[in-house]
Structure formats: C-alpha cells, structure tokens
Chains A and B, each alone.
Chain A
C-alpha cells in the first residue's frame, strides 16, 4: 500500500494520560499535515511540516499537543494530559510541494481517539 498510513487506527485512553500517534506519508511527499475532525464536522488544520521543519501551527494546537517529523519522514503527534474534548479523529495528509507549486493532499485513514 503506497498511501498515507496512520497508526493506531483506534485509541481509547483515560483522561490525563498521554497518547502518541504515528503517520507515514507517501514516500516522495515532502509536505505533511495534521488535521482534527470531530463528529459531524469537516477536518480542521492543526500543523504542517515541510521536510523536517514544522512551519505552521494552528491556534487549535494547545501547548499539550506536540508534533515532530524527524528526518523528514514519518511524523508523530503527541497529546499530553488528555481531556475529553480531545476525542476526535486525527487525520494526517501529505503532498508534494515546491516553491510556488502545490499539489493536492492525500489523507490517511485517521486515528480515532476516545478519551474516557
């Protein structure tokens, strides 16, 4: 499978615990994005990497959230001290971009987080 891969697909955690999600983008894609989608809503942008550099963060990304993309390959999204409001689908997307050129983004299957 050469699409965007996310792991785990589902995660149930107790409030206050830390969780970490992984995203493996399409291999030649240099841009990687994290989105959050709550029930009945469209995805909302969280953060964006170009290669290993985190270039943009949404104000939705509180200080309990941290994302990394070491070596510009896979990415991780960590949520510390989870709250019930963090329950959502976390989507990763990747695209190939160069200066003044953007291509469409392809999404992974998402990680569904439930905080109990």
Chain B
C-alpha cells in the first residue's frame, strides 16, 4: 500500500462547477501538506502549502487538512478551462522538499 493514495481520475466537470480533489495517507508523521498543479509536459507548480490541520483559502482555491482522518482536500470554486491539469497532493514530515511524498495525481478537465 502506498503512503499517499490519490484517485487518478480522470475527472471531467463543466465550467463553473466546484471541484473536489482528495488524498488519503497512512503516515501520521506528515505535518506539511501541499497541492501542486501540473500542466501537460510541464513541471509541478505549487498551489497551496499548509501546516497541520485546518483550512487555507487562496482565491478560488481552498485546502483542507483533517489529520485525525488522514485526509486532505483541495476545492476549486468557479472552475475554468484553464484549471484543466493534473493535480498532485504532496506531504512531508518536516516541510523539507527532500522528504516530499507525492500522490499519483488526479487529471482534471474543465469543459467550456
């Protein structure tokens, strides 16, 4: 069993929909949680960076962490075709990138 599990999708939604992306994990040492967006043939781009449990909002994006359930989510409001990409969750016990464990990514398509 992988330390981080992420539904690979693909997920297809109409423009303007609310998108919910999720990851579960098994390592209780993870304290830092990140979401990256990766366009086709590009490197991952950091979207959200959170520490421990709780919510964090940035524009149309909201990240939630529930450490008791070992479950993290990313919500995208008013989704746009430009949001079409693969979304990767990542987590680390220390916040250091040398200890990042990534999910396998969820492929999202937002239809105009």
Contacts and interface: CB of A to CB of B under 8 A. Distances in A.
Given A40-B8, A40-B105, A42-B88, A105 B100 contact: yes
Given A42-B90, A97-B96, A104 B49 contact: yes
Interface string A83-108: 00000000101010100001111111
Contacts of A93: 97
Nearest to B95: A102
A102 B94 contact: yes
Contact of A40 (B45, B97, B99, B104): B104
Contact of A102 (B8, B36, B96): B96
Interface stretch (A13-21, A43-51, A73-81): A43-51
A106 B46 contact: yes
B44 interface: yes
Given A102-B95, A104-B34, A104-B49, A91 B44 contact: yes
A42 B43 contact: no
Contacts of A6: 43
Contacts of B44: 43, 91, 107
B24 to A, nearest CB: 14
B98 interface: yes
B102 interface: yes
B49 A112 contact: no
B42 A109 contact: yes
Given A104-B49, A105-B46, 17 more contacts: A6-B43, A33-B98, A41-B105, A42-B4, A42-B90, A42-B105, A43-B44, A43-B88, A45-B100, A91-B44, A93-B97, A102-B94, A103-B95, A104-B46, A105-B100, A106-B46, A109-B42
